[in-house]
Amino acid sequence: MTGTGGIPEPVIVIAGIAVILASGCAVITAILGVDSLGRGYRARKFPLLEHEKDVAAALGWRWRSWIALRAAVVIGGVLVGVTTQIWLLAALLGVVGFFGVRFAVAGRAARRRLRVERAFLVQLRVLRDRMAIGNQSLDSALQEVGRNPGPELAYVLESWARGGSVTGNIVECGLRSRSPIIEHACVVLIWARTRSLDGLIAAIDDVLIPVGEAQLAVEEESLVTLTQQRAVTFAMSALMMVMFISIVRVESFRLYYETASGTIVLLLAGATFFALIAMLGRIARVAEWTRWDLVRIQEQELHPHG
Amino acid sequence: MAEALPYAAIAVLVVGAWASGVLLLDLFMAADARAWKRMTHLRGFATRGSVLERAARRTPALQRVQGELDLERLLAQAHSENTPASFLARTGAISLLVFAVLLAATGAGRALEGQWPVPPWSAFALGALVIPLSLFDLRRRASRTQERTARILGDALMAVAVMTDTRSLQLDDAVRIMSRCAWDDALQTLLDRGGFKRLARSQYPSTSEKYRIIGDTYRIREFSQVADAAGTTNVGVPERDAYTRLALTIYQERLADARVHAARARILITLPIAGMLVPLLMLIGAPTFHAISAGLGG
């Protein structure tokens, strides 16, 4: 008993009934409620793009230079792949080039960010001493600190040296840092800034410095985990690459990997490798921090009940 | 023997249906006891419940299963706007659609090749697999949202300590302001947009009570901790000290967690290293196997 195009009739009937029931269920879903999947990050933030900007800032690079480097490595990877005449390898090297650069510099970026955060905490102590011992006002203390920020914080604290709106300068410092801990400290500075300097000094003494040190301790522990994860991933990648280069150099093996079945095997091996790397990433996961929208904090500070 | 099995199954089903009917209708219960039970229901007093309910109450494993499959709670914790009915309808729709598409594909495969490419029941099995996968995904989303909410609240405490002290803002106002300023809107959805009302329906006389209820119903420990800290401010502890100490405690906990995690990772990391043998063996073994089989084939 066959129907259209040789498909058995019972199959057509059962599949048709299933489609009708599925449509009915979809209509019920539409009537009863709509899921809010995809909510999480606010609409104007793209997590992937923001992460790229964070890495560039942590390296102390301009955003455009970072993107140019990524593009150059991807193109270079594809070109190397093309010269081997194994097309899948060209695509694979392109993907490795895209994700690999970020991974390769992630350790350096994390170490530099930690150095910047430590230096920021030192500058907070200097700021506190200038106000408490040197009897300076907040804006003049900020300007003094901004003029001698040290090499790590030169770009981040540049705005403090300018003068003008104190809150605006603190916001710009946080935005430039793209570091959760510095952003966090800037949020507290914005809220702690009142007409009385004593309140601000007490907030730095009792809240910012002790909590900042606790946050740095968490960050240091995360760096240890990240270093472990990266060391193992590098070792695994090197092993895989050496093995692959050795195999491709053998004529019979290279001929096999140019065939369709060889391509499938290569795909499976690559997928297994990336799955293992992903597994490693899940095992050695580092601490996450809340990121604050400093411009919105500034608005809320002006109109807290607005 | 095999021919008798369907009859035996039908007999078991009939006896089961009869026993269930008798239990449901309370036929063996005395008339006055039944009347008292009805009055208890009318007045809203707690009853002993059915035999099954009592058994479920006494069995921790069953209670856990019941708790874990509580769709209303899971959907609220995941900040989903779906109702349990719409979630079930959506899951059913996806499941049926997967079944229909796979069945049609296998049918088309049979029409082309003359035999089933895969057994037809595999379409049903994969369609049915959508249901546990949806539940698993919902549980994962709920757990992830809980983590995000707890993290934002913990990270907001340092600013809350300053806002309540220097700006004299109320605890709830300060937390809500900070929730609006986080990149992630998990805390804002729960607190500022009133998402907590879905599970925390009881009345609360104060902010600390409100946070305690949210902490209990949404299983977010940080809310209960903030409620405790707010309680200490009512007996004279300065707000800045109370919330700063809580923030420090939370960061100490995170540090301890990070250390435990790093120690565990040192051992678990050997698993992917050992797993690297698989792609390496595939790369060497596949051409070798191909060459041997080609040689044997002549």
Grade residue B228 by pLDDT with cuts at 50, 70 and 90: very high
Shortest distance between the Cα of B104 and any Cα of chain A, in A, equals 6
Measured in whole angstroms, how far is the alpha carbon of residue A227 from the centre of its chain? 16
Q: Tokens for A228?
A: 């472990």
Q: What is the pLDDT of residue B49?
A: 65
Residues of chain A in contact with residue B251, where contact means CB-CB under 8 angstroms, are: 211, 214-215, 217-218
**A41 → closest Cβ in B104, B177, B183:** B183
pLDDT tops 60 at residue A3: no
Return the DSSP state at A134: S
| Angle, alpha carbons A289-A295-A299 (nearest 5°) | 120
**What is the gyration radius of the CA atoms in chain A, in angstroms?**
28
**Of the given ranges (A290-299, B46-55, B115-124), which has the lowest mean pLDDT?**
B46-55
The enclosing H or E element of A216 equals: helix A209-249
Put simply, whether B63 touches A (Cβ < 8 Å) is: no
- Scanning A183-222 for CB atoms below 8 A from B yields 184, 187-188, 191-192, 194, 199-200, 202-203, 206-208, 210-211, 214-215, 217-218, 221-222
Distance CA A54, CA A70 (A): 14
Q: Where do we find the tokens 């219960």?
A: B29
User: What amino acid occupies position A211?
Assistant: V
Taking residue A201's Cβ as centre, other Cβ atoms within 10 Å add up to 18
B159 and A187 Cβ atoms separated by less than 8 Å: yes
Residues of chain A in contact with residue B268, where contact means CB-CB under 8 angstroms, are: 283
CB contact under 8 A, B182 and A257: no
> Mean of the pLDDT values across residues A233-249?
83
Residues of chain A in contact with residue B96, where contact means CB-CB under 8 angstroms, are: 18-19, 21-22, 25
Distance CA B33, CA A125 (A): 76
Nearest CA in chain B to A17: B100
- Burial (0-12, 13-18, 19+ Cβ within 10 Å), A257: buried
CB contact under 8 A, B177 and A268: no
**What is the gyration radius of the CA atoms in chain B, in angstroms?**
29
- Burial (0-12, 13-18, 19+ Cβ within 10 Å), B294: exposed
Which of A178, A186, A184 has its CA nearest to residue A53?
A: A178
Q: What is the pLDDT of residue A38?
A: 45
Grade residue A37 by pLDDT with cuts at 50, 70 and 90: very low
- Scanning A7-46 for CB atoms below 8 A from B yields 7-8, 11-12, 14-16, 18-19, 21-26, 28-29, 31-37, 39-42, 45
pLDDT in tens, A6-21: 667 777 777 778 787 7
Taking residue A133's Cβ as centre, other Cβ atoms within 10 Å add up to 9
| Angle, alpha carbons A57-A58-A63 (nearest 5°) | 25
User: Which residue, among B95, B184, B289, would best test binding to A if mutated, counting the most A CBs under 10 Å from its CB?
Assistant: B184
Distance CA A194, CA B166 (A): 7
What lies within 8 Å, CB to CB, of B25 at 6+ separation is none
Distance CA B297, CA A294 (A): 71
pLDDT tops 70 at residue B90: yes
CB contact under 8 A, B86 and A296: no
What distances in angstroms separate CA A187 from CA A113, A175, A290, A300, one per listed residue?
A: 18, 11, 12, 11
Residues of chain B in contact with residue A277, where contact means CB-CB under 8 angstroms, are: 272
**B186 → closest Cβ in A40, A247, A283:** A40
Q: Rounded to the nearest 5°, which phi and psi values hold at A86?
A: -100, 105
Grade residue A42 by pLDDT with cuts at 50, 70 and 90: low
**A269 → closest Cβ in B106, B111, B279:** B279
Distance CA A117, CA A221 (A): 14
- Scanning B84-123 for CB atoms below 8 A from A yields 85-87, 89-90, 92-97, 99-101, 103-104, 106-108, 110-112, 120
Put simply, whether B280 touches A (Cβ < 8 Å) is: yes
Q: What is the pLDDT of residue A263?
A: 82
What lies within 8 Å, CB to CB, of B261 at 6+ separation is A225, A285
Grade residue A1 by pLDDT with cuts at 50, 70 and 90: low
pLDDT tops 80 at residue B128: yes
pLDDT in tens, A46-93: 777 888 888 898 888 888 888 888 889 889 888 888 887 777 778 878
User: What amino acid occupies position A163?
Assistant: G
Residues of chain B in contact with residue A191, where contact means CB-CB under 8 angstroms, are: 159, 162-163, 166-167
CB contact under 8 A, A229 and B240: no
pLDDT tops 70 at residue B298: no
Shortest distance between the Cα of B154 and any Cα of chain A, in A, equals 9
Distance CA B39, CA A241 (A): 77
Q: Rounded to the nearest 5°, which phi and psi values hold at A57?
A: -65, -40
Q: What is the pLDDT of residue A36?
A: 47
- Burial (0-12, 13-18, 19+ Cβ within 10 Å), B23: middle
This model of the complex carries an ipTM of 0.79
What lies within 8 Å, CB to CB, of B159 at 6+ separation is A184, A187, A188, A191, B174, B178
- Scanning A48-67 for CB atoms below 8 A from B yields 50
Distance CA B56, CA A130 (A): 66
User: What amino acid occupies position A297?
Assistant: I
CB contact under 8 A, B180 and A191: no
- Scanning B257-276 for CB atoms below 8 A from A yields 258-259, 261-262, 265-266, 268-269, 271-273, 275-276
Give chain B as a DSSP string: -GGGHHHHHHHHHHHHHHHHHHHHHTTTS-HHHHHHHHHHHHHT------HHHHHHHH-HHHHHHHHHT-HHHHHHHTT----HHHHHHHHHHHHHHHHHHHHHHHHHHHHHHSS-SS-THHHHHHHHHHHHHHHHHHHHHHHHHHHHHHHHHHHHHHHHHHHHHHS---HHHHHHHHHHHBSB-HHIIIIIS-GGGGT--S--SSHHHHHHHHHHHHT-HHHHHHHHHHHHHTTT--HHHHHHHHHHHHHHHHHHHHHHHHHHHHHHTHHHHHHTHHHHHHHHHHHHHHHHHHHHH-
CB contact under 8 A, B162 and A188: yes
**Of the given ranges (A197-211, B47-61, B108-122), which has the lowest mean pLDDT?**
B47-61
pLDDT in tens, B150-204: 999 999 998 999 899 888 889 999 999 999 999 999 999 999 988 898 888 788 8
What distances in angstroms separate CA A86 from CA A75, A258, B288, one per listed residue?
A: 16, 6, 19
Residues of chain B in contact with residue A268, where contact means CB-CB under 8 angstroms, are: 279, 282
Distance CA A219, CA A289 (A): 10
